[in-house]
Structure 1
Amino acid sequence: MLHLCQELTQLVLYNNSLNGSITEGIRSLPKLKKFYIGNNKIAGTIPLSLGNISSLVQLYLGDGHIHGNIPSDLGRLSKLIEFNIEVNYLTGAIPQEIFNISSLQYICLDFNDLSRNLSETARLRFPNLMLLQLQNNQLGGNIAAYLSNSSRLTRLNLEDNLFTGPILTNFGNLQLLQEINVGNNQLTRDPGSPKLHFLTSLTNCRSLENLVVENNQFNGILPNAIGNRTSPLLLFAAPNCQIMGHIPRGIGYFEKLNTLFLANNGLTGTIPSTIGKLQSLQRLHLDGNKIEGIIPNELCLLKKLGKLSFQNNGLSEPIPPCIANISCLQKVLLGSNALNSPIPVNF
């Protein structure tokens, strides 16, 4: 019956209980611009004929039971702005032809079983790309260098994959970037230096709010230039990353930070007094490191702090009594240290 709907421009069927598969007859809709059939029980494969609808602007096939490969024929959709096939059972590589669609603004291929490396062809450009979600796949290789040319990119999520190599320092050129999540990969530091220079480069991202790099293999040192006075960063999560060295005093520049996770690394030295400048901090996790010395009194300036975890370190000397004056505190975890004072009276 689709051949009787030659003038159809929108076919929106999402959020139902539709089953079956997408018919090859979809090619009979030459003027279709929007095809939303996600959040159903659609199975089968993506029909090759979908690539013949040159008018298509928005394609949403997410949250179904679609399997097989992403057809390279979809690379012919030169007007495509939104490409969403998340939460399915897709396998194989992401075709290079997809990365040749310069009009794309939103790419969501997360929660599939896609594998192999991203294309690393240097000439590829995504001048309009704003959102790239590839998390929870089996993608590997280096993070593609051409992503750093996407000047409109605001959100990048590559979490739970098999990416290797360093994080690109060129990401610091992306002035609109608000979120980076590359956690749970096999990323390393740049072999040319023990410092994690990508963190320094990201201080140029004046819109960056969430930075998640947890569970990687950096085996490096936090740089001194880790922040700046205009940083809007709210979340910095880097537990289980083999980070060594001292916590830099520059950590105090993140005055808007509400969550700091640096647990289960190899951090040494003392807790810098500049931690007291983090007036918005709500959760502070430094457990599972090799931090020594005292708990600084400046910690008591963090009036919004709700959870504090310093356990499994080498902290000594008294617990500052003023910690009991932080009215928002709900959890204080200081076990397995060398603390030697009475418990503060008002705890």
Structure 2
Amino acid sequence: MGEIPEAIFNISSLEVIDFSFNKLSGRIPSTTGLHLPNLEELYLGENQLEGEIPLFITNASKLQILSLSQNFLTGTIPTNLGNLRELRHMFLHHNQLTNEPTERELRFFNSLADCRMLRYLQVGNNPLSGYRQLERLTSLGIQDNNLAGNIPSEFGKLKQLQGLQGHIPEGVCHLSNLVKLYLDGNELSGLIPECLGKSKHATISLFGF
């Protein structure tokens, strides 16, 4: 219970910070003097944290796992996440994160194109209203947001994608490694490609489509 001690984020030798599954409240410390050059894993999920994602996190150049899920975080997702070149897993689901009011495009996806090691990204259950694509992504969760319109045909280029949560293009049928396709909980429109009915290995959920 209580807030996260700011002093923790000034211990430059730390490699792992795990405060998940507690009842921590308040904001994540955001003092500009915070410096975590050796931090590889940051777990703050399953708490009651509020406020925005502090920009200092994007300066932790060795960060591999970032878990901030199931809190009450607000504001936008940082657009300089590309600084995290070692990032492999990022969990931001079940918060109140949004994109800029005047923008339909999720700019943070553009910066993630520089995260060549990224394999798992979960941003579901946030009031987001747009998205981009990442060529080496294997799992993407975008369910239960405010997405509308079409999934771009460029999704067919995500050859490593194994799970898509979030008008379905024919390109989805070219995802040879696809094992899960969850599109429920959004307001997507259009026709369902006939080729999806021929998938032998994928679990497909279109409830509420």
Same fold (TM over 0.5): yes
What CA distance in whole angstroms lies between the structure 2 residues aligned with 1:131 and 1:282? 28
**Deviation string for 1:41-94 (max 9, x for gaps)?**
xxxxxxxxxxxxxxxxxxxxxxxxxxxxxxxxxxxxxxxxxxxxxxxxxx1111
Q: Give, in whole Å, the separation in 2 of the partners of 1:190 and 1:107.
A: 29
Residue 112 of structure 1 and its aligned partner are, at CA, apart by 0.8
What residue number does 2:121 align with? 211
CA offset at residue 293 of structure 1?
3.9
Greater per-residue strand proportion: 1
For residues 310-344 of structure 1, the C-alpha deviation after alignment (integer angstroms, 9 at most, x for no partner) is 2333xxxxxxxxxxxxxxxxxxxxxxxxxxxxxxx
1:111 aligns with 2:15: no
Q: Could you tell me how far 1:173 is from its partner in structure 2?
A: 2.0
Within the alignment, does 1:124 sit opposite 2:34 as a pair? yes
Amino acid at match of 2:43: Q
Please tell me whether residue 281 in structure 1 is matched to residue 178 in structure 2. yes
- 2:168 maps to amino acid: I
Matches within 5 A, 1:1-347: 91-218=1-128, 220-223=129-132, 226-228=133-135, 231=136, 233-262=137-166, 270-299=167-196, 302-305=199-202, 307-313=203-209
Please report how far the alpha carbon of residue 169 of structure 1 lies from its aligned counterpart in structure 2 after TM superposition. 1.3
Are residues 173 and 283 of structure 1, via their aligned partners in 2, closer, same or farther at CA, if it must alter by over 3 Å?
Answer: same
Bigger Rg, structure 1 or 2: 1
Q: For the structure 1 residues 214 and 103, does the alpha-carbon distance in structure 2 shift closer, same or farther, using more than 3 Å as the test?
A: same
Contact 2:64 2:86 in 1 (8 A): yes
**Partners of 2:188 and 2:102 in 1: CA distance:** 27
Normalising by structure 2, we get a TM-score of 0.92
Partners in 1 of 2:146 and 2:67 — Cα distance?
21
Q: For CA contacts below 8 A with separation 6 or more, give which structure has more relative contact order.
A: 2
Tell me the percent identity: 38
Q: Unaligned stretches of 5+ in structure 2?
A: none
The CA distance in 2 between the partners of 1:289 and 1:156, in whole Å, is 25
Whether the 8 Å contact between 2:148 and 2:188 is mirrored in structure 1 is: no
Structure 1 residue 181: deviation in Å? 0.4
Aligned to 1:239, what secondary structure does the other structure show?
coil
Secondary structure in 2 aligned to 1:201?
helix
Quote the RMSD (CA, aligned, Å).
1.7
In 1, the alpha carbon distance for the partners of 2:115 and 2:198 equals 28
Contact 1:279 1:301 in 2 (8 A): no
Give a deviation string over 1:235-276, Cα, whole Å, max 9, x none: 1111111122321122222211111111xxxxxxx2111102
Task: Kindly provide the amino acid, as one letter, of the partner of residue 181 in structure 2.
Answer: L
Write the distance in 2 (CA, Å) between the matches of 1:160 and 1:207: 24
Q: For 2:113, what is the secondary structure of its paired residue?
A: helix
Deviation (angstroms), 1:290: 4.1
The answer to whether the 8 A contact 2:15-2:40 is kept is yes
